[in-house]
Every structure is written in C-alpha cells, then in structure tokens.
A and B are shown apart, each in its own frame.
Chain A
Amino acid sequence: MNEITPTREERIERLQGMGCKRKRVEDVRFVQGKGNYVDDLKLPGMIYGDFVHSPYGHARIKKIDASKAKALPGVIAVLTAADLKPLSLHYMPTLAGDVQAVLAEEKVLFQNQEVAFIIAEDRYTAADAVELVEVEYEALPVIVDPFKSMTKDAPVLREDIKDKTDGAHGKRKHYNHIFAWEIGDKEGTDSAIKKAEVTVKELISYQRVHPSPLETCQCVASFDKIRGELTLWGTFQAPHVIRTVASLISKIPEHKIHVIAPDIGGGFGNKVGAYPGYICSVVASIVTGRPVKWVEDRIENLSTTAFARDYHMTAEIGATKDGRVTALRVHVLADHGAFDACADPTKWPAGFFNIVSGSYDFPVAHVEVDGVYTNKAPGGVAYRCSFRVTEAAYCIERAMDILAQKLGMDPAELRIKNLIRREQFPYQSALGWEYDSGDYHAAMKQAMDAVGYAKLREEQKSRQAAFKRGETRELMGIGVAFFTEIVGAGPSRNCDILGIAMFDSAEIRIHPTGAVIARMGTKSQGQGHETTYAQIIATELGLPADDISIEEGNTDTAPYGLGTYGSRSTPTGGAATAMAARKIRAKAQMIAAHLLEVSEYDLEWDVDRFRVKGNPERAKTMKEIAWAAYNRVPPGMEPGLEAVNYYDPPNMTYPFGAYICVVDVDVDTGVVKVRRFYALDDCGTRINPMIIEGQIHGGLTEAFAIAMGQEIRYDESGNLTGPSFMDYFMPTAVETPKWETDWTTTPSPHHPIGAKGVGESPNVGGVPCFANAVNDAFKFLGSTHIAMPHDNWRTWTVAEKLGLHG
C-alpha cells in the first residue's frame, strides 16, 4: 500500500452509506427557493378551477343557477353534477369500497361539500365566479354526533345506498351504518373479564383532527386530445395508485396517463386519496383542451380533503389485584363522515386498530368496530401514523394509566410488569399480529434512568403536598407511554389497495462510469428519500452516495409502487432497494471473477470492491466493474448492470418506543407548560441518524399539536367552527417544546437491512404521552380521564369541576 491509498475506514467514510449523518441532498434546492412544487408549474394556456361549496351540513339541492357566473368575462365553463352524470363521473369509487360524490347531485351531506366547479382564465376570476353561482337549498336535519347516527328516527344520510343491506365489509345494521368488523376471541375475553379480580372501563374518544400539511392538495391536469393522453401533476403520496384509479375512472388507458408528483410540501396522510378537485380538473381539461390548475385554499383543505381519527373507543381491561393484565375488550364507534373514503388497505376497514393490545402480554382480547355515517367531511386518513395505529396506542396507553390508578400502582411499574418480554419474540398477539422483534424492558429502563424517573415522582409528591397546603397553584404531571407501532404495509397475503398488493419497488441502473440512477415506487414528501435511499445503495454497492441519484414520483419512469404513507417506505421501498442492489452485486461478482480470472467463490466483498480471498491486493472496485459491465462481461452474460426488485414483505415491522413527559399545569389559567419531553425510539437499523432525529422532532410536534389543541369541530347544525389557521391549532416555535431524543437498536429479523421505519412513531407515542401527563397532574385529586385536546380552556374547566377555583 502506498500513502495515498485510503484506509478501509476512509473508504467507508467516502461512501456516505448507512449509519452516517449524511447531509440532505434535497436541501440544496430548498434553501434557495428552487424546490419544484405543483403550484410552481406554469403551462401555456393554463386555466384555473375553483369550487362552489355547500354552506349547509345536510340539505337538498333545489336548483343551481350558474348563468351569472357563466356571463362573467373570463369564465370558461361551470361544471355541476348534471354535466358529470352522463360521463358517470358524478360519483367516484373510494379506497374503502364506497362511492363519494364528485359534485353533489341531489343532496349535500357535509358543509363545504363540492357543488360546482368553475373554470376560468385566472384564479381571481374563478373566485369571483364562485360568488355568482346561485344555489337554492332546502335544509335537512343534521347528524354530527356519531352516537346518534343509528337511532330509530335518525335522518337517512345516504339516499343513494339506503336500501343496500350489504356494505363492502358485510351486513349493515342500519341505513347510516357502514360496516362492523371484529377480531379476537369474544367468548374467551368476555369470560376473562367477568372473572377478573379488577376491571376498568372507560370511553376514550380521539377527536377529529386534520393533517394540514403546509402545502395544500393541488394538481394540474393536461389532456392532449390528439394523442389521447393525460398528464396529471399533483400532490400525490401514491402517484402510481392515482394513475390506476384515474384510468379506471376515466377509461383512459393506463399507459396513456402520465402522473407526476414533484416536490411535495408535506403530506402526513392528507395526500394519499383521490379528491373531487382532481377529477374535476381532468374533466375540465378534457372539455376545454387546455391545462387546468386546481389549488386548494386552507379552508378547503381543512374542511373537504381528508380528516383523521374521530374514533370513540370504549376500552375494558381485566387484571389481577397485583397488576397482571388478563383481558382486553374494546368497542369502537368510528365516525367516517358522509362517505366512507378512509384510506386503509382494502381488507382492513378499521386499519390496523387491532394493534390495540399494544406492548403488553394480553392472554386474550377482542375488538369490535362499527363505522357510521355523519354529516361531516369524508377522509379517514392516517395522519402521520400507520392505519388507525395512533388511535390504538392512545386507547391502550390511556387505559393502562387508568388501570394503574385503580390499582394504586405507578404507571411505569404497571407497564414493566406487563410488557412483552424479549424472549417472547416473535410474539403472537391475542389480536392476530406477529410482532417481529423487541427489547421493551431495556428501552423502558433506559428511558426511566435518563429522566431520573424515581426522583421526578418524589418531586411530584412534594409538590402535591404543597398544592394541598395552598403554597402553589401549579400541578406537576408525569406522562409515561410505551408504544408498539405496526408499519410497512404490507404482505400481499393480507394487504392490498383495490386488489393491488402492497409491495414496493426499486430499479437501480449503474452506468459505465459508476454513476447510478435509482427509481422508486415510493414518494417523499419531505422525508429525505433522495438522501437515505442513496445511503442504502452506497453501502450495498460500494459506490459513493453522491454519485447516486434517486428519482421518485414519475409514473412513466419509476417502477410501480404503492407510495409513501404508514411509515412504509423503509420497510418496503428500502428493502426493495437493498434487494435490487444485491442482485447487481451478484452480477458484479461474476464480472469481477472474470476480470481477475478466478472463480467467483474465491472472491470476498470489501466495502467497495471484490478481492481475492487471501490475496487482498488483487481486487476490482465497483467502479471498475461498472466499466467492465459495458465492455468485458464473461462470455454468455448480458452486458449492463441494472436490476429491479418488487419487494413483498414477509411481515410488517414493529418499531417501538418509550416516551416520558413532564408538565406543569397552572390550575387558574389552564396553561400546560411542557417542562421536558424525552423520546426513546427503536426503529431497528438506523440509516441516517440526523434524518431520524428530524422525523422524531417533527412527529412529536404534531403529537403536541393534536394532544394540546387540534380539533375539527362541528356545531349541532353541522357548521364547521374555525377551519383556518386562525382557530385550528398550529404550534409555532414559541409553544413547541424542546425535544430530547434517544434510541435503542433492535434490528428487524426479516428486513434485508433490519430497518423498521420511523416517521410516525413520535406521533403514535407522543399523543398518549402528553395526554397521560396532563391526566397524571390531576389524578391525585380524583380525576380519571380527561378528553383531548388539552387546551387551556378545557384544562381550566377540569380544574373548575374539581373545585380548585374555590
């Protein structure tokens, strides 16, 4: 070796592969304002669409008069359901097996429902025209409370399906019922709860919220009449699925539809589904022959495209007197709004809610979910969580705290007693999942040691005594949450969307100079895929990450994939990337053997090269092999160096974490100050610790927003109260707490690189941790369960009800 030959460590460092804090390659364009978002797109002759919305939550449409709007100079057309009906486009299929009105036909079923679509030369004229459309309504009785949905005299909401006795998931119990779903051992659970020494039961509601990414949903549709081809740019978390759905709905052949998702300004589940704006833009472009842009405003975003949660969970736990759980029974009333447009894998109407047994060793459990219609917006998306997993985590983590309170046990101690033990993995849960791996007790101990848990409890005790003596008006709360996520949907045996298995894909091409282009079926919305996928390839193939371009979001060039949501990119797309890279490495090994004139079995891999065993000086680097792949392949071998992998995961992955939060509550103002928030996450193999930290910070901030203030609220008449950032809680840098992050690493045994996915864990674990902290503050005064969100008013109200204001 001479002195300019890099050491092995230097060679590893140069790759910028897995495990290093590689700087995000996306930032170069973002910090210069050179991101490329949908609304930045400008096409010759482009025109604009805008919606007329219903002011009523439930009303019959008597008449739509668009004549004044059509007469306004600059208005090109006004579409209503009457125009879409002959094309059979007035309804569109939803991911959940229901249909959703694209434009309201005879009735409106929620406030701000889309009634007409204006097409105009510019966005100002379109907005003017919206005001000129006159719609005559006859108001109808409204249901906003899901508990009143299935009463005897409830108004019929969905007249279009009122006589259907069967829904997409079996028998319907009532004309406003959507589905019933159950899992687990009902008889065993009922009997175990009956026999239990101690039981707790609580209605735990998770309020309706909205993901509200900073960029709203938007698209540009451009139909080329001559070629019969449609190009659709949009904010799509799942561009390939959008193309398939667009083809099924429009009857345009799939290969003649080009879907492009450019940079996306955050998604959080909001941008998975198909919305009326997309359909109307496509129709408008076909009708006018011009590109049509549709950009939601914030009110439209908060009130029409998507919502999350609205789950009303009655949880019961049976336990022994010394705190061992014996059974779990949960009934959920799920408010799906006016159309069942929930974005879940098709066979899972309640998502993966059956992760509700959490991180605990329940011998038996049973879950029943009833979905109902109400006069609220459709959506039911997974707002920064895998499908209905944050609802499940909130439910079990609150219920465990309530059980601890009843038993007079410390909540951390109760959890430790019941956590699944390391030697039980792979663990078969009572509700049907096989948890792949975990070391829960080690994580819990590390978290408790890090925050000085015992000391915090001592401090709390003395503060409670001081409060009772009247020396302070502040209560201290300590929130503990231990969560298990289920992500990476999913195995084709049980996960599909409209019949398409939920695999994901990677295609890697190595060019003669060793430069790489890799294309993925997933789609980043800020997660940094261009940075991290390149790191996986760099480590697998020994080529520097800086020489690897990652492309996503163009359905013409990327292999088919199901997209990015439910923390699935790393478990599925990341696995596909590693598997495709390994195919390439296997071929590279044969080429190297040919070049070195040895058998391929005489070679071993060393960071960025194949070397001859026992003679490391004789080696061929990947770069050299790449060149040879285009001119000196072994006889009979195809030239080139590329591979595609479609990865069907054998199982989900199960990230977990232990979170602890300390709050101080001012009982006179209701202000909750977060003193400390510690988050330990185990996402298996860590690809880029810096990006993981960013994901955790962001997810915790969203959890903070949900737990402490967010709510999409309707009044009794079906009016949405406050659907703008004036009222919908968006924490600024001032309110947002500082985050302490930590980790353990338990690689997934079935994932090629052992990674599990991380983006959503902090939301799943964060929400119950905040809620438990606020509840914990009031617990010693006899309070059992306080509903979210814990804003100042509600917290003050709790103090008032407990008689703390004298």
Chain B
Amino acid sequence: MGIRQRFEQQLEELRTDVLKMGSMVEQELQVAMDALEKLDTARAREVFSLDNEVNLIRFEIEEKCFGLIVTQQPAARDLRSIVTVMNMIVDLERMGDQAKGIAKVIPHMVQSPDIPRPAELSQMGIKVGRMLNQTMTAYAHDNIDLASAVARQDDEVDALYARIFGQIMAHMADAKTPDKIEATYEALRAARELERFGDLATNLAERVIYMVTGRFQEINVDRSEAAD
C-alpha cells in the first residue's frame, strides 16, 4: 500500500474512532437520563465508568492525531479534518463530563424526594441526545445541511432550560429552609448540564461545517443566553 493510501486509511480510521466516541457519549447521556428518571443510584454509578472509557478514548484519538500531523504534514482538507477531530474530542469529553454531572445529582435527589423534577428535564435530555446523534451523522457523511439544522435546535433546548429555570426559582422562593433550597438547586444543576451539552453539540456541528467548507461559521450566536 502506498504512503498516501495508508494515510487515507488512517484518516478513515480516525473518523471511525470519533464516531465511536460520539456513540459512547450518547450512551453515557442515555444512562444518566435513565438513572435520573428512575432515581436509580446504581444506574448513576454506571455513568462514571462509562465516562472513564470516554476519557481514555479521547487520549487515544489525540495521540493518533499527533502521529498523523508529525508523519504526514497534512494540508488543506486533511489538515482540517485532523484539527476538527482534535477539537471535537475535547468537546465530546466535556459532554461526557456533563452526563456525569447529571449522575452526580441523583444521590441528592434520592435523599430529598420532594425536589421538583420538571418534565422538561427529560425533554431536554431527548433533544440534546438527538442533537449529538445528528451531529455525528453529519460528521460521518460530511453533511453540512444536517450540521446546520442541528445547531438551530439549540434554541429549543435553551427555551426548555429557561422554563425549568423559572419553575425552580419559584420553588426556591417557596422553600423555607436552606436545606430545601440547596436540594432544589440540584435539579437546576442537572438542567444546566443538559443546556451545556446542547451548546457543545452545537460546537461540534460548527466544527463539521468548518471541516467540510474551510470556513468558520457561528451558527447559533444567541445560544445559551436564554436564561443566563
């Protein structure tokens, strides 16, 4: 096999690795949301071990990227795809942390069962999970239309977050003791993790657009301002 053919094969392997990492983070989110739904601490602990695997694969991929840059001196599209991967894996790793953040909330909720759990939380979880899935599909197929569509969905996530924020604030105002206020905050924290997850999915989509077109383009400039 020629050097260039081998390089192309390595670039394809890199893409497969990133897709695998994306599906690992998606699974991590699903398990976290399931644990939140059922207030299941054992299920929440599964998220921690899934997150360790995500962290490991991130470093494996990063090392491959450095190897390709050093040995192949990539340019143009090749360079963009490697730089994109290096950025995507950082965001994916952060998204894994966000899922872990949700899992961390669960023991607090189990101890204080009267903490409000707005229905919008699971809606947010479904939406940001779908955003990640679609972004990875866009990445797999160089589909910039799909990537743009993903980024636009972030407004809906922000709107859900704003609603949760309002409900929790009202609940905090009603809560009489510091303990109750603190416990109520945990539900807000889970919502905040999901909102950030959506932001990072948008970042990923922007990276995909850059990889394909070579142009930096911020798709959803108003994101995350809904409740900040």
Q: Do A and B come from one complex?
A: no
